Structure 1
Amino acid sequence: MQVLFKIIRQNPHSAPTVQEYQLDVSEGSTVLDCLNRIKWEQDGTLAFRKNCRNTICGSCAMRINGRSTLACKENIGAEVARLQKIRQSQSSDPGQETDDSIPEITIAPMGNMPVIKDLVVDMTQFWENLEAVDPYVSTRSRQVPEREFLQSPEERARLDAVGNCILCGACYSECNAREVNPDFVGPHALAKAYRAIADSRDDRTEERLNQYDNTQSGVWGCTRCYYCNAVCPMEVAPMDRIGQVKHEILERRDRDDSRPVRHRKVLVELVERGGWVDERKFALLVVGNFFRDLRGLLSLGPVGLQMVAHRKFPFTFEPSEGTNEVRSLIEAVRNVESQSSEPIESKL
């Protein structure tokens, strides 16, 4: 089948341009196979990373038709079918015949990282952010062991998902939080952070949680957009791992310890009390820390005055008609969470 490849090409100090290459390829060919053919047969100047060709090393991560993935993992037939399905879902006439034009595949460098050349990006900050969370198991308090640090199958199973991470950068590339907040370390780093927390051989849990309990660089900087889970080629589900770190923080912290912790705990308390959030109290209790944070209370003044002026401030609160049912649901979730790994607050 004939396929038109549109590749975004760029040098460090130049604007990106689109260059087109047409190939006759089989449906089973991978995108990496096609890139190799373009480089070998048509344009030897095309730059991209590759290594294992077997979804192990993560080197060939790039954006293919708008999503970050591994070029060695995606084959042409499946990608063309995916694009056709998207077009049909967006069409005003779902029953229309399939477009007979040559399918196009657009390939671009990963996001949130500066371009070195073409599809090769500078991953320096990616690695520095990983290093910042210190993702290494610490055994310093145990000195030199006389025997191996043995783990039960259950303890080891907690590490299975994040242990599959190949650090390809796909999640980092699509991270909305990283795009707007340069201090956020990224989903890859926090997934590895959970790996250290979950490891029974590590002895720095409290120190780590203090580090990750941060509104900018830590777990509270995550916007929960789900993109990292959607694009991860190894099903690590970084957002879920971030949620598990939040769980550990919420388990060990009181609402007075930090605003993010207070936000989640107060939210559940108000919903449990009235069936939904009492907007009159929420900001005062969270930002004002139960009227103990004078600076926080003063910061609410301008917003509060604008709400009153525009008649947006609720002077009364009517509890939900289903308050008892809401309380029953919360209690049921708490009973379940006592036997699972994630609390109700970390889901909010």
Structure 2
Amino acid sequence: MEITIRIRRQAESGSPDYKSYGLDVDPGTTVLDALMRIKGEIDGTLAFRKNCRNAICGSCAMRINGRSALACANRIRDVADARGEILIQPMGNMPVIKDLVVDMTSFWKHLDQVDPYVSTAARRPPEKEFLQTPEQRAAVEQAGNCILCGACYSECNSREVNPNFVGPHALAKAQRVMADNRDDRTAQRHALYNQPEFAWGCTRCFYCNEVCPMGVQPLDQIQKIRHELLTDKAAQPNTAMRHRRVMVRQIKESGWLDEASFALQVVGRDFKGLWNLVPLGVRMAAKGKMPLRHRPIENCAQVRDLIEEIQKEDAQS
């Protein structure tokens, strides 16, 4: 199979450039094997990371046709277009060191910020080990499958616009320790994660779930953290929590949002925030989106019943 691999080449201080390499490969060849052939047979200056070649270490994550993925887990026949072309680029949200190698300093820094380690400091260590039931182990298994490849971090829209957001990888690891029955720092973790740079920084774009090669579903893990925070009566309320609670309450009451009061209820007693809403209020009034009377929709009771049924299921899960 004749293919052309177009690779973005770049030195740390240079401008990016694209170079194309032609190869004759078996359709079952992986992208990583093709890159190794290019480096070994055509251009030894090409730089990329690799290690296990078996989708375990996560080293070979890069953008393949615009989406972050493991080069060792993608075969040529699955990623080449009709013309036999493949586009390879470095991961996003991290500076390039050379070619496909990125500086992952921020990735590891943000991971460390969530304190992703089970703490048993307040407990007396057992003679042998902390035992877990199969059910307790199952609670942490999905998040524990993360191999820290960086694919989710690379595609995270929240990380792109907010460099302080810790990222989906870190929050998936945070959920892993929160769900671990051996950890004894639940209250401290709730206080730490209940911030805009942590659990509430995610915009739920779903890209992390789409690109995760291990089925960790980082967004699902973030949602679990949020659910815990929302059900923790000791958690300090913030704008994100009020946003969710006001939305649910208004839809239960009338079946739709009362846009005239929604923002005011979310902002609360933050006078600076209220002042900043004035221009928005003027624009809403000009567009007729601030009716003097908010009327419930028809069949509002059915909407309320549906929400209450979901809340009941959440409480039981």
The two structures have a TM-score, normalised by structure 1, of 0.88
Distance 1:10 1:221, change over 3 A: same
**Structure 1 residue 241: Cα displacement:** 0.3
1:136 paired residue among 89, 93, 117: 117
Aligned to 2:190: 209
1:273 is aligned to 2:250? no
Aligned to 2:56: 56
1:258 is aligned to 2:235? no
Give the conservation status (yes or no) of the 8 Å contact 2:140–2:180.
yes
Distance 1:300 1:55, change over 3 A: same
Give the conservation status (yes or no) of the 8 Å contact 2:260–2:289.
no
CA distance in structure 2 between the partners assigned to 1:13 and 1:270 by the alignment = 52
CA distance in structure 2 between the partners assigned to 1:136 and 1:9 by the alignment = 37
CA distance in structure 2 between the partners assigned to 1:253 and 1:105 by the alignment = 51
Aligned to 1:331: 308
CA distance in structure 2 between the partners assigned to 1:24 and 1:194 by the alignment = 45
1:200 is aligned to 2:181? yes
1:174 paired residue among 155, 162, 165: 155
Give the conservation status (yes or no) of the 8 Å contact 1:270–1:277.
yes
Aligned to 2:278: 301
Aligned to 1:153: 134
Give the conservation status (yes or no) of the 8 Å contact 2:194–2:235.
no
3-state SS, counterpart of residue 142 of structure 1 = coil
Structure 2 residues not aligned, in runs of 5+: none
Give the conservation status (yes or no) of the 8 Å contact 1:220–1:260.
yes
Q: Which amino acid is the alignment partner of residue 23 of structure 2? A: L
1:219 paired residue among 192, 199, 208: 199
Structure 1 residues not aligned, in runs of 5+: 85-101, 341-348
Question: 1:218-237 to 2 correspondence within 5 Å?
Answer: 218-237=198-217
| Deviates most, 122-131 or 326-335 | 326-335
The 4+ residue runs of structure 1 with deviation greater than 6 A are none
1:14 is aligned to 2:11? no
2:107 paired residue among 117, 122, 126: 126
Q: Which amino acid is the alignment partner of residue 311 of structure 2? A: R
Distance 1:70 1:200, change over 3 A: same
Q: 1:29-85 CA deviation, whole Å, 9 max, x = no partner? A: 0001100111111111111110000000000000000100000000011223xx45x
1:106 is aligned to 2:65? no
Give the conservation status (yes or no) of the 8 Å contact 1:111–1:174.
yes
Distance 1:254 1:322, change over 3 A: farther
Q: 1:196-234 CA deviation, whole Å, 9 max, x = no partner? A: 10000001111111111111x111110100000000000
Give the conservation status (yes or no) of the 8 Å contact 1:254–1:262.
no
CA distance in structure 1 between the partners assigned to 2:271 and 2:88 by the alignment = 52
CA distance in structure 1 between the partners assigned to 2:283 and 2:303 by the alignment = 32
2:145 paired residue among 136, 141, 164: 164
Question: 1:306-317 to 2 correspondence within 5 Å?
Answer: 306-317=283-294
RMSD: 1.5
Q: Which amino acid is the alignment partner of residue 39 of structure 2? A: K
1:36 is aligned to 2:13? no
The two structures have a TM-score, normalised by structure 2, of 0.96
Aligned to 2:66: 66
**For this pair of structures, how many residues does the alignment match?**
317
Distance 1:255 1:155, change over 3 A: closer
3-state SS, counterpart of residue 253 of structure 2 = helix
Give the conservation status (yes or no) of the 8 Å contact 1:7–1:19.
yes
Distance 1:331 1:280, change over 3 A: same
